[in-house]
Amino acid sequence: MTSGYKRWQDDEQYNEHFVVELTKRLSAKFSVSVLAPSYPSAKSEETIDDINIYRHKQYVSPKVTIAYKNGMISNVKENRWLIRAIPFYILFQFISLMRIVKKENVQVIHAHWIIPQGLVAVLYKIICNRKIKIIATIHGSDFLRIKSAVGNVLKKFIVSHIDRLTVVSHALKAEAGRIISPENIFVYPMGIDTNTFSPSMKDLSLKEELDVPGEFLLFVGSCVEQKGIRYLVEAMTEICSEYPGCRLVMIGNGGLLEEMKIKAKDAGLEKNINFLGYVEHGKLPKYFATADIFILPSLSEGYSLVIREALSCGTPSIMTDLPVFSSDTEKAFFEIVPVKDSHIIAQKVKYMLQHKERYEKERENRHKFAMENYDWVKVAENYANMIDSI
């Protein structure tokens, strides 16, 4: 169960999505079906990659979509009217789940995001099928950004009725450990294809293509407030005063994209910031591997796959001082800055550019760490063993 999955065979946005990849890898050992939200022009049922995909209605009108785009929570925050549609989303998902479990003889439900998928799975178990086993995975926003009294009650209710709880970071384990015994929480980060995300993907012709005459800075993520991109754009004024040939390449769409374009223009940074918008996941390795520095100035994070993809490419990286990046072993490979501080971001970038050779020498060590900790083979094996155990 997921709130985002391939909507058609060649869905560029979800071709390399972590839930899609994990499902494909688990299907080598188990019979796997997927329940995901519907989408205009997507089929209600179809088979992709030999996996049966079922899509439940999101609302009475098929034109109303809560999921996809920037994620359910961000979509609801941008359009408060969607709150009214949530009960219908849950109802339709519940009805579809009843039908699929019976049709496919399902033994284990893996709910990605505990709200709403985990909630629906638990309601199904209580009402319809006490024997069903449930694995729920917290990815971050589903747990960290739902902080109301009602939300906290729901989270406690859900985790008390599942068989296994997995989280994608140690910081999330610490948060979840406040409502469930930490020994019952398993940290399984989302995987990376470390053969693809590799320093070997470096392609200097990309700099010519992007018109990057000097230093190459990179941001990959949604253009939303949570990612702290306005502070990165502000930092470019100070960076470019010392490195006029420097270019910041920003990959990703979102509600702040147009505002940031105007902000860059007003600051005279049109030539120094390249807003690419969406770039398909399969093309990202060469961007990471070619960039001099990757910067993720997030204000909050549940789990950042892009920072691990940058790590796997060996790219020197800057991130904000957030709990999700609390692993001492992992932090040794990154530079840390405070949240909402464009001056410190600029200072850190300039320092790293001044000592570029030292940071470049560490690329292979970063890649090796990613292979040992985040490769998909290990992640899929962890989940397969968990399914077997229950």
What is the arithmetic mean of pLDDT over 353-381? 92
The domain total for the chain is 2
Q: What is the pLDDT confidence band of residue 383, given thresholds at 50, 70 and 90? A: very high
User: Do 304 and 257 lie in a common domain?
Assistant: yes
User: Do 165 and 126 lie in a common domain?
Assistant: yes
User: Do 49 and 171 lie in a common domain?
Assistant: yes
Confidence (pLDDT) at 332: 77
User: Do 176 and 84 lie in a common domain?
Assistant: yes
The answer to whether residue 118 is domain-embedded is yes
The answer to whether residue 10 is domain-embedded is no
pLDDT above 90: residue 184 = no
Please write the tens of the pLDDT for every residue from 267-316: 999 999 999 999 988 899 999 999 999 999 999 876 688 999 999 999 99
Please write the tens of the pLDDT for every residue from 306-342: 999 999 999 999 999 987 775 656 677 889 999 999 9
pLDDT above 60: residue 202 = yes
The letter for the amino acid at 66 is: I
User: Do 296 and 184 lie in a common domain?
Assistant: no
User: Do 130 and 279 lie in a common domain?
Assistant: no
Q: What is the pLDDT confidence band of residue 193, given thresholds at 50, 70 and 90? A: very high
Which token pair is 37?
């939200």
The answer to whether residue 326 is domain-embedded is yes
The answer to whether residue 235 is domain-embedded is yes
The answer to whether residue 136 is domain-embedded is yes
User: Do 276 and 344 lie in a common domain?
Assistant: yes
Confidence (pLDDT) at 151: 81
pLDDT above 60: residue 375 = yes
Lowest-pLDDT choice from 116-130, 158-172, 197-211, 334-348: 158-172
What is the arithmetic mean of pLDDT over 81-88? 91
Q: What is the pLDDT confidence band of residue 251, given thresholds at 50, 70 and 90? A: very high
**CA diameter of the chain:** 65
Sign of CA dihedral 49, 65, 279, 117: negative
Placement of tokens 């034109």 in the chain: 63
The answer to whether residue 163 is domain-embedded is yes
User: Do 82 and 222 lie in a common domain?
Assistant: no
User: Do 240 and 170 lie in a common domain?
Assistant: no
In sequence order, what are the beta bridge partners of 136? Answer: 111, 165
The answer to whether residue 208 is domain-embedded is yes
Confidence (pLDDT) at 148: 77
User: Do 175 and 282 lie in a common domain?
Assistant: no
* DSSP type of residue 118: I
- State the CATH number of the domain containing residue 142: 3.40.50.2000
User: Do 362 and 225 lie in a common domain?
Assistant: yes
Range(s) of the domain holding residue 297? 199-373
The answer to whether residue 245 is domain-embedded is yes
Q: Which residues contact 1 (CB under 8 A, 6 or more apart)?
A: 34, 35, 36, 93, 97, 109, 110, 111, 112, 117, 120, 121
User: Do 163 and 274 lie in a common domain?
Assistant: no
In sequence order, what are the beta bridge partners of 54? Answer: 35, 45
Q: What is the pLDDT confidence band of residue 355, given thresholds at 50, 70 and 90? A: very high
Please write the tens of the pLDDT for every residue from 136-182: 999 876 676 677 788 888 889 999 999 999 998 887 888 888 888 88
Please write the tens of the pLDDT for every residue from 32-83: 999 999 999 999 999 999 999 999 999 999 888 898 877 787 788 888 888 8
Report the predicted TM-score, pTM, of the whole model to 2 decimal places.
0.78
My answer on whether omega of the bond before 316 falls inside 30° of 0, hence cis, is: no
Confidence (pLDDT) at 141: 66
3-class state of residue 63 by DSSP: coil
